[in-house]
Every structure is written in structure tokens, then in C-alpha cells.
Amino acid sequence: MKKGKRAYSEQAIEEVFRERESFLVVGLTGRIGSGCTSASEIFAKDARSLNLPHAAPVPHMKDRGFQNQQRQERIIERYAMAGHWQAFDIVKVRDVLTSFVLENLGGFANLVARLTGGRQGDLIQKLKSEYCKWLDSDNSRRVKKVFQKGYSFEKMIELNIDLWRKMEDNHHIIKTSNITSRHFCFVAMVLPEISNMIRRLLISEDNFLYTRTYQNVGNIVRTFGELDTSGNRDIQEPGAIFCVARRINYIIKMYRKKDWFLLSEEEQKKQEIHSSPVRIVIDSIKNLFEAIYLRDRYSAFYLFAISVSENKRQEFLQAKDFDLEKPELRIIDYCERPSEARKAYQEHCKLRGRTPKTSAGDALYSFFEDITCGSYPYGVWKDAYDNATYTFNMQDVEACIQNADIFINNNKNKEELTKNIVKYVCLMMHPGLVQPTDDERCMQIAQTAKVNSGCVSRQVGAVVCDDRSNILSIGWNQPSANRCNEVVPCLYRNFEDCYNKNDQMAYSELEREDEEFRGYLSSCFSVDGKDVYKDVIKEYRKRLQGLPMTYCFKDLYCDFIGSRNQVHTRSQHAEEIALESSNQRLTEGGTLYTTSCSCELCAKKALHYGIKRMVYVEPYFGITEKHVLGFPDADSPDEGQMEVELFTGACHRAYTQLYSPIFPIKDELEMRNVSFKKPKKQKHHDQPDRRKGRKQKQAFNGAG
């Protein structure tokens, strides 16, 4: 009976972990040149071709120093190579966008003509020619086997339209009568190949053309729900925000039936449709709401942020023949960072007509001029920048990175990148397999600290450690207050109260009494000399639906004086508070962890406190690295200069999910029937008790 129980527990625990391993979805995000494609290729390798670097040997007892990293690597390597690592299928977001392109090839050709001034010629005919060449090659043999006939370019376009229509009509379950092996073959093999053809055609014209074209395709599709290139459509479709994410979700559903789709028609008739293990990596997500959509549907979805230092990124782009001096590269960067692009666009509008365009900046000037004029296809951009809606329908890599689950600093060392990817996949399959690193532990506390901030612009958390990773202090950005007054975060300040001089302790004398500033506030609600304050506030209340009418003083004041300066913020920065709460004697040689790379002022303060290393998650595009990190010592190059590193590790919900064991490891070993204790001898019922017999004999002898 006992033996049977152990056998059952062994099978049960295997089933628990098999269920976790059978469905994993990973999304990749990062700026162009950061290495998302390299990461996806690692995910797609099987265990044999993974070439996982062998962990260091068992540390010798005479070895000094910290060896836990080597021990961790050995555990991960053994687990991965014990049959747990399986290759992932790659789903490219560009292929999903191509599915929208195939629904309106003529409109796509018009878009390319607009971006190139008509230089591309007959794009559709060239694409058909490329497709025919591919059909004649050996690479299309499997496609021909599935389709047998009817695999012309026109038939594929029809199949593409039919697939998404059927998925929209019946998205809860894939029935055999609706979705066939042809549909799956098209998604898994034909659609990626057509994407590659389009990419080659556009790159042959210009290295930047492919990226810029697909950035426009994505923005238009997320705005209207289709590739509408007429330029006459003004009404945005709110539901279009998720149209790309929905198609990604449909593809995931198709891959859940992958093994069945790959059967022959005769075998399919003999078997019922069944689910397959799913491991998918999505390359690459650059809109936050696409990640949110998938995260809401799958608890096994994790967003990886692949980042790299700017110097490494530029080296990579140069190696790919990107001319870094060209304004086109700055345009691509602006497209991935819409908050910065919006500032540049607003500056362009202010200086328009007063600043002559230079020969070096013609493309950049024309880019913002096209947006300002609202010409096709940039009317979508203009609306997004004017109304600050870019987060919904445009690429926003910064927002994706801020909301990632796992961060990997890709220093272009493929071995390190491979080890990090394998480690986190193993933790997805078996949480608690290894412990968090010191960096993860400290950064998770900084991430937790930042939610205490009442800043309405950006929450930031910081942790200061000594040179042995002992935490000295924690901070988050918030306003200062003396002992006689409480901290009043911006979240609790209401524009109505400020304007009407209510709750006066929450507002400064400048906001309440300064005549020039009060005059500026009044002018904001004056139209043709008429005060429209009450009407505007009434409309704002309706739009906010009970939300507080908060405002950022720094933004308001900078607009008032006509210049931007971070000195005018109400809050102290998180790093500043954490450093000032530390004992400077203990911070020498320590580490500053911050959820956002420190500004110049905080970096200078960190240097003053003797901080040796700064680890951050979100990049801050200032002059910190180039200006205030100090200089290496002439005799000891490793001394004197503060190191700045992108964070590598799990954060937010992933930290808890990956490092919280399903069972305590001690209990798991017992359930797997693994014990290192000396086995106890089993007592048989028919065996006489020798001690009892001995006592009876003694009693008998005594009686005699």
C-alpha cells in the first residue's frame, strides 16, 4: 500500500510539471539593433544545437571567492539537458502585419510609393515574380505537398482573407471544418516567406525603407483595424488597438493543434483533433497593449526586454550597413520612442518657418514637416502626437520595456544571452529551481518601492547597497515636507482646488498668490476675452468619470516660463532620497539600483557618496554616461569611474512566479521517492518478537 502511494505521488508530481511545460509563450521587446532576432533564434534551437556553454566545474575546497553562480549554472544546465528544453516556434509580428498587407496589396504599394517618391516601381509584380521563383525552389516542397494544387499567389491571398474571416467568426475554438491544414501551412510556412520577399525587395532600395514601411503599416492597422491607405479616413477605431494582438492570439490557438494539422488527410480522419504542447516566442512586440492583451489571456506569458548599451547598438547597426550619420536612423529611433518624437514634433511646430533646414537634416526636417502638414500617411502620426494617444496605436518600445517581466542586458556575447534565456525558461517550467541573484533581489525591492510614489508622471524606486549587497536604504520620488506638514503628492492635488484656492495647505504660495502665474492660469480658460473656465471644467469632469483632476506642476510651470527644466519639479528623485538616507561611510564601493537610469544630478550625488556601480532598468536619455560618471584612475583603470549597467533579471510578477516553488524542494524529493536516509527494516507479522521471547525465558529460569 505504501509503495503504491509513492508511485502515485511520483506520477502526480510529474503531471503537475508536465502541464507547466506544455504551454509557454514568450514575447520579446527591444529597440532596433538590441538583439531581439538573435534571442528568438536561440529560443528556436533544439537541445542538441543549443550549444549551451558547460557550467564551470565543481569548485575546489581551496578555491576562494564566490562560487554560487557556478553552482546555479550547473543546476540549470542539468535540468535543461534532462529533456526539459524543447525548441520554440517563432511567430514574427512582421508576419502578422504582412497578413494585413495581403488584404490590401494595392494600398501597400501606394504606401511604399509615397515613402520612396515612386522609386520602387511595380512592387506587386516584383513580389509575384519572387513568389514564383520560390515555388520553383526546393524550399517550397513541403508547401506543395500540403496544397497539392492551388498554391498560386492569388490563391494564397484568398486563403489569407478566408483564414482571418473564419477566425473572427469562431475564435473560441478551432473546428476541423473551419480551419484546415492548408490554413496552418499558410501561417507557419507561406506567410513568413512572403514577409521575407517583401523585406528583400524593400531593403534592395534602401536599408531604412523596410523598417519605416512596416512601422507605418503597424501604426495604420492599430488605428483603423486594417491597412487603410486612402488618407481620407479621420475616425479612429478604438477596437483596432488590439487587432494585431488578436491575430497573434489566433496563431497561438492554431499552434495548439499543430501536431494534428501536420497529419495527412487519411490520418486526420482516423483521429480526433487533439492539443499539442505549445512553446512560442513572439518576435518582437513593440506596442504595450499587445503585451497586455496576451498577458491577460495567458498566465504562462512572459515579456522579455532585450536591451543593449547605446555604443553596442550602434556597433551592431554599423555592421549591418546602417549609416549612423543618416537622419533616417534618427527617424526610426523616434518612431520607437513616441514620447521623445512628440517633443521634437512640438518643437518643430514652434520653430516652423524660422529655422532653415540643413542638408544634413533634410530627411528629419521633412519627416516632421510631413507630420505637421498631416499628409498621408502621417495624418495618423499627427493625430497621435496632437492628442497624446500614441501609446495606444503606435510603437512604444519604452513603455514595453517598463512593463517587461524579464530584462536581459545583451552585451552581444551570445553565450551569456543563451545562458540567460535557458535559465528563465527553466524557471518557467520549474519555479524555485534556483535563487534570485543579488541584482534581482535588490531591483525587486526598488520596483516595489516605486509604487509608493504619488508622482503623476513617472514612478521611480531606488535601493542603495554596500559593497557586499547589503541593503542600506530605500527611496522613491516624492515631494519634501517639514515636520509641521505632511507630504502632499501630486496625485492628491486637484487643479480645481488650486484654481479656486481651496485646500490651501496643498498648494504653494506661487500657485495661490503669484499674479503672473495666476494670470497664466486664467488665460488658459479665456476664449476671445470670455471666461470659459466653468464650461471646460464641466466637460473635463464628464470625460474623467470620477478620476481626480491632477496636474504636473513642472509641466505647467515650464509652459508658463517657456522653457523646460527639471529643477522645477516638486519631488525629490528616488535616488536622491535613498542616498541621503544612507550612511556615507558604508556606501563607498556600493551599488545604486534604480528603476530608471539616473539623471545628471543624481549621478553626481552617487559619485559623491562613493557609489561604484549603478544598475538600472529604464534608459534615461540624458548626458549621465558621457558627462558625470568620473574618470578612471591612471594607475588603476578599474578604480574611479562609476559603472553603469542595464539590469538583467526577473521583476514584477515574474519575480514571484519564477522564484516561488510549487512545492518545497524537500517535499518534492519525498514525493519523487528520493530519500538519503538509511532505509528502515520492515517488520513481518509472522516473525516472533525476540525481545519478548528473551523476557519469557528469563522469567521461566527465574521461576525454576
Mean per-residue pLDDT for 420-449? 96
> Residue 704 has what pLDDT?
46
More confident of the two residues 695 and 643: 643
Whose grid coordinates read 555592421?
319
Averaged pLDDT of the chain: 85
First to last CA, the chain: 46
Cell triple for 348: 518643430
| DSSP states along 98-158 | HHHHTT-HHHHHHHHHHHHTSTT--HHHHHHHHHHHHHHSGGGHHHHHHHSS--SHHHHHH
Q: In the chain, what is the greatest distance between 2 CA atoms, to the nearest angstrom?
A: 129
Interhelix angle 414-429/2-21, nearest 10 degrees: 130
Q: How far apart are CA 622 and CA 21, in angstroms?
A: 42
| For residue 237, pLDDT beyond 90 | no
Q: How far apart are CA 326 and CA 347, in angstroms?
A: 21
- Which whole-number Å values give the CA distances from 671 to 12, 664, 665, in the listed order? 9, 11, 10
Mean per-residue pLDDT for 166-183? 72
Q: Are 318 and 128 in contact (CB under 8 A)?
A: no
DSSP letter assigned to residue 306: E
More confident of the two residues 264 and 623: 264
Closest CA to 153 of 131, 183, 182: 131
**Amino acid at position 126, single letter:** K
Give the whole-number percent of the chain exceeding pLDDT 90.
Answer: 46
Mean per-residue pLDDT for 398-409? 92
For 618-675, the pLDDT digits (tens) are 876 554 555 555 545 545 545 557 888 889 999 989 999 999 999 999 999 988 888 8
User: Beta strand pairing status for 278-283 and 89-92?
Assistant: parallel
> Residue 7 has what pLDDT?
80
More confident of the two residues 271 and 367: 367
How many degrees, rounded to 5, is the angle at CA 270 between CA 268 and CA 272? 70
**For the ranges 413-427, 516-530, 669-683, the one whose mean pLDDT is highest:** 413-427
> Residue 17 has what pLDDT?
92
More confident of the two residues 681 and 400: 400
Cell triple for 16: 503537475
- Provide the residue count of the chain: 704
| For residue 397, pLDDT beyond 80 | yes
How many degrees, rounded to 5, is the angle at CA 256 between CA 254 and CA 258? 75
Secondary structure of 391-437 as H, E, C letters? HHHCCCHHHHHHCCCEEEECCCCHHHHHHHHHHHHHHHHCCCCCCCC
Q: How far apart are CA 607 and CA 629, in angstroms?
A: 7
Q: Are 17 and 430 in contact (CB under 8 A)?
A: yes
| DSSP states along 310-365 | HHHHHHHHHHTT--TTSHHHHHHHHHH-HHHHHHHHHHHHHHTTTSPPPGGGHHHH
Q: Which of 21-30, 100-109, 296-305, 669-678 has the lowest mean pLDDT?
A: 669-678
pTM across the whole model: 0.87
> Residue 53 has what pLDDT?
62
| For residue 278, pLDDT beyond 90 | yes
CA atoms within 13 A on the CB side of 635: 0
> Residue 315 has what pLDDT?
78
| DSSP states along 556-579 | HHHHHHTS--GGG-SEEPHHHHHH
Q: How far apart are CA 291 and CA 301, in angstroms?
A: 9
Whose grid coordinates read 564601493?
589
DSSP letter assigned to residue 56: P
Secondary structure of 384-395 as H, E, C letters? HHHCCCHHHHCC
Q: How far apart are CA 223 and CA 243, in angstroms?
A: 9
Q: Which of 181-185, 278-282, 316-320, 574-578 has the lowest mean pLDDT?
A: 316-320
Residues whose CB falls within 8 Å of the CB of residue 282, separated by 6 or more in sequence, listed in order: 25, 26, 27, 28, 91, 92, 93, 248, 294
Cell triple for 414: 551570445
Mean per-residue pLDDT for 409-436? 92
Mean per-residue pLDDT for 560-581? 86
Q: Which of 93-102, 278-287, 341-350 has the lowest mean pLDDT?
A: 341-350
Q: Which of 9-18, 561-570, 582-591, 646-655 has the lowest mean pLDDT?
A: 561-570
